[in-house]
């Protein structure tokens, strides 16, 4: 009787990791290489990352679509125009004030996704609005990241009074109802703009929602950064740098900061997603991007008002926004799993 | 423990004070915020504006104005600049609506998230897990007012399954009350279901490898007993913390969008309307109301944590 082949013993704990390392040839690879390798294996995350790039590319190409296909601009009204669909004339905005729905290619790409109540081309507005929404998302995320890193570094590294002050500041920001604060600032600034010394902003400037959104998420990121800095500053390599005579600024930027990079990357992706969502919420309450400038938030806002007669006005920008935010969330998730699987990064409200 | 609670309550007081100060000054520093001009109606004369300024004390020192307003907050005498209605009454009127929305939604999202998270963790890596993960991610990617408006239109208006917004008092008709709130509860809960089910899933997966779970299995407990008594109970602690914080955040402003979409006339919607008109007294009151809930739940969670884990008290 032939002996059964020995069943493969399942390893657990460090032995299993060593076995995996042997199998995957990861000996001597740095954390970044390992992370990239893990990310490359996560096909779903890559797919959604690619989707995000496609969406961004489409928004960048907005003028191309507007000139070549739709032959209109984002803010041009076509209230009394007609289009030819299947050889028949059709009003862009019906006599009862109901705009046409999505025409796809029936009118040669004009009103691809329909028109709004002023006869403006939804597809063109969607792409230009995407530019605004994405710009707000990215710039706000940059502001949040920079502020959080500075506050987190200073509080975590120096501790003592600096930490007490910064923590109190973050506590106050944390306890401020985000939407009320955002709407309050947005409405007030939209009325008169801002004149603060050399800084002058018009009421409809994109900088206002960017600034508000960038500020709002600071405590969510600065707190975990501070925690990380607190533990990093006790590490041997920081002690070594200090022994070599490096000053606090030098240690913060050359020793501590590089170790925060993976946290920063993960947060950054998720921050963009949340900033886009908050822009939509502010615009919905009339305090974000000011009309007639399009953004996905203002478009949803206009659409919700008319949902009973022309549901496509609300559905189209909403789907676009959800796709964008979803692709960022899935990709950000994948990046987190690849770089630091145990990190618990969470943004919300 | 007593000292910890005292310190936490003092901290609460400080944060509330800072929030009130900030809110007040934001509105007094911002340009075009002169309430006297806007209260005087169309084409007011200079004397009319001056009279209003005098009557409402806008000429006083800004710190004096702050103290008079804060005193009115505590005595409940705060009156809106524009509607001239007492702010306290409006908040009391809106409170049951906001709480109905928040409590119902919180129970709903906790229940569904536990089911989703547990099931997802038990099927980790399989199709059901992937599917639920995608659903959860879609949930956290949707603006609540958008999904709320779509639900209201397609399920309420078109299909006629649910009432089209509005609120019925619980004391009048509990069934109608719940019927009117089903859509708002769902819309508000979707986001949190996405978050919580994912957090719970990863907690359960962490706990499953603990030694005491292996011991339980070795003792010969059923899989069900292990899951409920050993794994779920320990995985729930961080979730319950989040639940406390998020409940505070929802009562304190998180429900504004949901209330507005479904026209529930709660405190959040009152705040949104007041902010739109730059009506300082209601804005100040609702901001403080909101901050109070956020700070209170934060403190409660901290104190409960300190009670459970003595190491925290010493920090």
pLDDT (tens digit per residue) in B68-98: 888 888 887 888 887 778 888 888 889 999 9
A299-306, Cβ contacts within 8 angstroms, sequence gap of 24 or more: A299/A122, A299/A125, A299/A126, A299/A129, A300/B143, A300/B145, A300/B146, A302/A116, A302/A117, A303/A116, A304/B145, A304/B146, A304/B149, A304/B261, A306/A117
Q: At what angle do helices B280-308 and B87-122 cross, to 10 degrees?
A: 40
Predicted confidence at residue A3, as pLDDT, reads: 43
Residues of B in Cβ contact (< 8 Å) with A311: 153
Within 58-97 of B, beta carbons closer than 8 Å to A belong to: none
Please check the confidence at residue A1 and state whether its pLDDT lies above 60. Answer: no
Instruction: In whole angstroms, give the CA distance from residue A4 to residue B8.
Output: 66
- Partner residue opposite A314 with nearest CB, options B33, B138, B146: B146
The answer to whether B255 and B266 have CB atoms below 8 angstroms apart is yes
Please check the confidence at residue A23 and state whether its pLDDT lies above 90. Answer: no
Range in A1-5, A8-12, A189-193, B162-166 the model is least confident about: A1-5
What does the pLDDT look like over B38-69, one tens digit per residue? Answer: 676 667 777 777 777 777 777 777 788 888 88
The answer to whether A301 and A286 have CB atoms below 8 angstroms apart is yes
- Please name the residue that has the structure tokens 């069943």: A7
Of A196, A230, A219, A204, the residue nearest A291 (C-alpha): A204
Find the closest chain A residue to B130 by CA distance: A44
Instruction: In whole angstroms, give the CA distance from residue A120 to residue A92.
Output: 9
Predicted confidence at residue A9, as pLDDT, reads: 43
- Partner residue opposite B18 with nearest CB, options A172, A178, A307: A172
Question: Average per-residue pLDDT in chain A?
Answer: 81
| Contact: B19, A175; criterion CB under 8 Å | yes
Query: B137 to chain A, minimum CA–CA distance in Å?
Result: 7
| Contact: B146, A300; criterion CB under 8 Å | yes
Q: Around Cβ A32, how many Cβ atoms within 10 Å?
A: 12
- Partner residue opposite A177 with nearest CB, options B14, B142, B252: B252
Instruction: In whole angstroms, give the CA distance from residue B25 to residue B32.
Output: 14
Predicted confidence at residue B66, as pLDDT, reads: 86
Please check the confidence at residue A263 and state whether its pLDDT lies above 90. Answer: no
Of A190, A205, A248, A258, the residue nearest A228 (C-alpha): A258
Predicted confidence at residue A2, as pLDDT, reads: 43
Range in A48-52, A63-67, A222-226, A282-286 the model is least confident about: A63-67
Please check the confidence at residue A61 and state whether its pLDDT lies above 60. Answer: yes
Query: What contacts A292, CB < 8 A, 6 or more positions away?
Result: A75
Predicted confidence at residue A337, as pLDDT, reads: 81
Q: Around Cβ A198, how many Cβ atoms within 10 Å?
A: 5
| Contact: A311, B291; criterion CB under 8 Å | no
Q: Does B138 touch chain A (CB under 8 A)?
A: yes
Query: How do beta strands A194-196 and A88-91 pair?
Result: unpaired
The HSE-up count of residue A23 (CA atoms within 13 Å, CB side) is: 6
Predicted confidence at residue A136, as pLDDT, reads: 92
Query: What contacts B56, CB < 8 A, 6 or more positions away?
Result: B35, B36, B39, B81
Predicted confidence at residue A134, as pLDDT, reads: 93
Instruction: In whole angstroms, give the CA distance from residue B255 to residue A205.
Output: 28
Of A163, A146, A145, the residue nearest A154 (C-alpha): A163
Q: Does B246 touch chain A (CB under 8 A)?
A: yes
- Partner residue opposite B153 with nearest CB, options A185, A311, A322: A311
Please check the confidence at residue A6 and state whether its pLDDT lies above 60. Answer: no
Please check the confidence at residue A183 and state whether its pLDDT lies above 60. Answer: yes
The helix (run of H) or strand (run of E) holding residue A50 is helix A43-60
Between A312 and A193, the higher pLDDT residue: A312
Q: What is the mean pLDDT of residues A40-66?
A: 89
Query: A327 to chain B, minimum CA–CA distance in Å?
Result: 9
Instruction: In whole angstroms, give the CA distance from residue A99 to residue A118.
Output: 8
Please check the confidence at residue B136 and state whether its pLDDT lies above 80. Answer: yes
Q: What is the mean pLDDT of residues B231-243?
A: 85
Please check the confidence at residue B118 and state whether its pLDDT lies above 80. Answer: yes
Task: Choose, out of A179, A301, A311, A322, the residue to mutate when testing the contact with B (most B CBs < 10 Å).
Answer: A179
Instruction: In whole angstroms, give the CA distance from residue A323 to residue B138.
Output: 9
- Please name the residue that has the structure tokens 């399942």: A10
Task: Choose, out of B28, B32, B141, the residue to mutate when testing the contact with A (most A CBs < 10 Å).
Answer: B141
| Contact: A315, B150; criterion CB under 8 Å | yes
Q: What is the mean pLDDT of residues A108-133?
A: 82
The angle formed by the CA atoms of residues A281, A283 and A289, to the nearest 5 degrees, is 140
The distance in angstroms from the start CA to the end CA of chain B is 12
Range in A98-102, A164-168, A327-331, B154-158 the model is least confident about: A98-102
Residues of B in Cβ contact (< 8 Å) with A318: 142-143, 146, 150
Beta bridge partners of A84: A89
Q: What is the mean pLDDT of residues A55-73?
A: 82
Q: State the pLDDT confidence band at A194, using cuts at 50, 70 and 90.
A: low
Predicted confidence at residue A342, as pLDDT, reads: 58
| Contact: B27, A184; criterion CB under 8 Å | yes
Between A7 and B155, the higher pLDDT residue: B155
Instruction: In whole angstroms, give the CA distance from residue B83 to residue B274.
Output: 10
Whole-angstrom CA distances from A166 to A181, A223, B80, B286 are 20, 10, 34, 26
Task: Choose, out of B102, B109, B143, B271, the residue to mutate when testing the contact with A (most A CBs < 10 Å).
Answer: B143
Q: What is the mean pLDDT of residues A259-274?
A: 89
Predicted confidence at residue A349, as pLDDT, reads: 36
Q: Does B153 touch chain A (CB under 8 A)?
A: yes
DSSP A85: E
Predicted confidence at residue B315, as pLDDT, reads: 53
Between B283 and B184, the higher pLDDT residue: B184
Instruction: In whole angstroms, give the CA distance from residue A193 to residue A111.
Output: 34
What does the pLDDT look like over B188-217, one tens digit per residue? Answer: 999 899 989 988 988 888 888 888 889 999
| Contact: B153, A280; criterion CB under 8 Å | no
Tell me how far apart the 2 most distant CA atoms of chain A are, in Å: 93
Q: B68-93 burial string, b = 16+ CB within 10 Å, else e?
A: ebbebbeeeebebbeeeebbbebbee
Query: A87 to chain B, minimum CA–CA distance in Å?
Result: 32
Please check the confidence at residue B125 and state whether its pLDDT lies above 60. Answer: yes
Q: Does B256 touch chain A (CB under 8 A)?
A: yes
- Cis peptide upstream of residue A292 (ω within 30 degrees of 0): yes
What is the pTM assigned to this prediction?
0.86
- Report ipTM (2 d.p.): 0.86
What does the pLDDT look like over A196-206, one tens digit per residue? Answer: 666 677 767 78
Rg, chain B, Cα only: 24
The HSE-up count of residue A252 (CA atoms within 13 Å, CB side) is: 16
Q: Does B287 touch chain A (CB under 8 A)?
A: yes
The answer to whether B135 and B201 have CB atoms below 8 angstroms apart is no
CA A242 to chain centre: 37
Find the closest chain A residue to B196 by CA distance: A346
Q: What is the mean pLDDT of residues A268-281?
A: 92
Please check the confidence at residue B268 and state whether its pLDDT lies above 70. Answer: yes
Residues of A in Cβ contact (< 8 Å) with B152: 307
Task: Choose, out of B102, B120, B137, B146, the residue to mutate when testing the contact with A (most A CBs < 10 Å).
Answer: B146
Of B98, B36, B31, the residue nearest B262 (C-alpha): B98
Q: What is the mean pLDDT of residues A62-69?
A: 79
Between A339 and A203, the higher pLDDT residue: A339
For residue A306, give the 3-state DSSP assignment: coil
Within 203-242 of B, beta carbons closer than 8 Å to A belong to: none
| Contact: A346, B253; criterion CB under 8 Å | no
Q: Tokens at residue A87, please? A: 């050889």
Q: State the pLDDT confidence band at A8, using cuts at 50, 70 and 90.
A: very low
Best-predicted range by mean pLDDT (A6-10, A75-79, A199-203, B231-235): B231-235
The answer to whether B261 and B49 have CB atoms below 8 angstroms apart is no
Q: Does B286 touch chain A (CB under 8 A)?
A: yes
Q: Tokens at residue B276, please? A: 């739109």
Predicted confidence at residue B52, as pLDDT, reads: 77
Predicted confidence at residue A143, as pLDDT, reads: 95
């Amino acid at each position: 009787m032939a002996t059964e082949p020995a069943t493969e013993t399942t390893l657990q704990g460090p032995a299993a990791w060593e076995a995996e390392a042997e199998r995957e040839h990861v000996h001597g690879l740095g954390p970044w290489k390992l992370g990239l390798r893990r990310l490359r294996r996560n096909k779903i995350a890559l797919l959604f990352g690619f989707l995000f790039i496609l969406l961004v590319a489409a928004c960048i190409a907005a003028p191309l679509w507007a000139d070549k296909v739709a032959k209109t601009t984002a803010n041009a009204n076509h209230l009394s125009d007609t289009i030819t669909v299947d050889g028949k004339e059709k009003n862009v905005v019906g006599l009862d004030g109901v705009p046409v729905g999505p025409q796809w290619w029936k009118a040669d790409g004009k009103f691809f996704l329909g028109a709004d109540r002023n006869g403006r081309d939804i597809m063109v507005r969607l792409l230009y609005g995407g530019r605004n929404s994405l710009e707000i998302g990215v710039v706000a995320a940059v502001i949040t990241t920079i502020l959080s890193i500075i506050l987190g570094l200073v509080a975590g590294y120096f501790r003592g009074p600096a930490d007490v002050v910064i923590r109190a500041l973050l506590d106050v920001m944390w306890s401020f109802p985000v939407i009320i604060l955002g709407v309050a600032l947005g409405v007030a600034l939209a009325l008169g703009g801002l004149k603060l010394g050399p800084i002058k902003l018009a009421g409809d400037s994109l900088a206002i929602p960017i600034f508000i959104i960038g500020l709002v998420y600071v405590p969510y990121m600065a707190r975990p950064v501070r925690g990380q800095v607190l533990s990093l500053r006790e590490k041997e390599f920081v002690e070594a740098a200090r022994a070599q005579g490096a000053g606090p600024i030098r240690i913060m930027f050359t020793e501590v900061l590089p170790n925060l990079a993976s946290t920063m990357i993960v947060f950054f992706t998720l921050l963009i997603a949340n900033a886009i969502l908050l822009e939509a919420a502010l615009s919905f309450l009339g305090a974000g991007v000011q009309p007639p400038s399009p953004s996905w938030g203002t478009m949803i806002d206009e659409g919700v008002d008319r949902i009973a007669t022309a549901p496509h006005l609300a559905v189209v920008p909403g789907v676009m926004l959800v796709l964008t935010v979803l692709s960022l969330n899935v990709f950000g998730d994948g990046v987190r799993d690849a770089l630091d699987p145990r990190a618990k990064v969470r943004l919300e409200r | 423990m007593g000292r910890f609670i005292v310190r936490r309550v003092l901290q609460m007081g400080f944060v509330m004070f800072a929030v009130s100060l900030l809110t007040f000054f934001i509105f007094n520093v911002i340009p075009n915020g002169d309430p006297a001009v806007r209260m005087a109606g169309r084409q007011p004369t200079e004397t009319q504006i001056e009279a209003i300024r005098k009557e409402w004390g806008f000429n006083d020192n800004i710190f004096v104005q702050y103290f008079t307003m804060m005193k009115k907050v505590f005595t409940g005498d705060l009156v809106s600049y524009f509607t001239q209605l007492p702010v306290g009454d409006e908040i009391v009127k809106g409170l049951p609506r906001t709480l109905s929305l928040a409590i119902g939604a919180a129970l709903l999202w906790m229940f569904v998230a536990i089911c989703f998270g547990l099931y997802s963790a038990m099927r980790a890596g399989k199709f059901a897990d992937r599917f639920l993960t995608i659903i959860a991610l879609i949930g956290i990617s949707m603006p609540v007012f958008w999904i709320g408006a779509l639900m209201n239109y397609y399920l309420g208006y078109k299909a006629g399954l649910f009432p089209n917004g509005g609120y019925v008092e619980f004391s009048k008709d509990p069934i109608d009350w719940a019927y009117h709130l089903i859509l708002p509860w769902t819309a508000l809960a979707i986001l949190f279901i996405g978050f919580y089910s994912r957090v719970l899933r990863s907690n359960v997966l962490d706990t499953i490898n603990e030694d005491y779970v292996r011991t339980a299995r070795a003792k010969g407990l059923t899989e069900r007993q292990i899951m409920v008594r050993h794994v779920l109970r320990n995985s729930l602690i961080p979730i319950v913390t989040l639940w406390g914080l998020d409940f505070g955040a929802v009562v304190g402003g998180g429900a504004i969008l949901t209330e507005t979409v479904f026209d529930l006339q709660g405190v959040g919607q009152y705040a949104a309307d007041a902010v739109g008109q730059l009506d300082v007294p209601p804005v100040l009151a609702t901001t403080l109301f909101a901050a109070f809930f956020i700070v209170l739940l934060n403190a409660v969670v901290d104190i409960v944590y300190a009670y459970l884990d003595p190491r925290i008290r010493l920090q």
